[in-house]
Amino acid sequence: MKDKIGLAAAKLLLEAKAVSINTDQPFTYTSGKRGPVYVDCRRLISFPETRSKLMDFAAEILKPLNVDYVAGGETAGIPYAAFIAERLNKPMLYIRKKPKGFGRMSQIEGYIEEGNQHVALIEDVQNFGVSVKVFVDALREAGAKIEHLVVIFEYGHESSRQGMKDMGVALHSLTDWKYVLQVAAAEKYIDDKTVMSVEEFLKNPDGWAEARGYAAPIKEQA
């Protein structure tokens, strides 16, 4: 099932132009570093058919799991949590990045019953997992059990995967770079040279940038 969903989701993201690949004119990230790839899953909310298929995949992943609530992380995870909660007929929550007041529920919007309620966290992209820890900590502070994270796209950083293990959270992604590059090459979105360059970047982002004269962080363009 994983390969089937991974390939289908990759194709949907490429068709919606949610994945951009450009080795000649690299993107500038928030950190100031440069790279040949950019993923914008927020864009998908504007494509009804695409988002519907992707949310069907997410619901399919979650159905066998012991989940009482579906929670979206501020802000990108909120619409997807709503779509999934509707499909599964589950109550929804959303988690703020910072508390808005005092108490155990200061970061959580919605109502959650007392007790060991099982919550699945929904995000659009899993990169380094920094924001995810904020949301997981807030849920656990409120007494919830959070054991699953579902994302549309996973970058695949080893540090992120280890971070999820350390938090005791299972990561479920609809697709990742392995599937995107496979589909992009097969559908002629990119050539073999570009595939090799992106794979080089994914293995060693800093080395890729340094080899092309982008070692020093520069001011973010967008």
Q: Do 138 and 105 meet the contact criterion of CB atoms below 8 Å apart?
A: no
Show the 3-state SS of 157-218.
CHHHHHHHHHHCCEEEEEEEHHHHHHHHHHCCCCCHHHHHHHHHHHHCHHHHHHHCCCCCCC
pLDDT tens-digit readout, 154-175: 988 777 788 899 999 999 999 9
How sure is the predictor about 99, in pLDDT bands with cuts at 50, 70 and 90? Answer: confident
Indicate whether 115 pLDDT > 90. no
Q: 2-199: what CATH class? A: alpha beta
Q: Collapse the DSSP code of 46 into the 3-class scheme (helix H, G, I; strand E, B; otherwise coil) and give the result.
A: helix
> Domain coordinates of the chain in residue numbers?
2-199
Which of 147, 157, 177 lies closest to 62, judged by CA?
Answer: 147
Tokens 């971070």 sit on residue: 163
Would the pLDDT of 221 be above 60?
Answer: no
pLDDT higher than threshold 60 for residue 218: no
Distance CA 6, CA 1 (A): 8
Question: What's the confidence (pLDDT) of residue 160?
Answer: 79
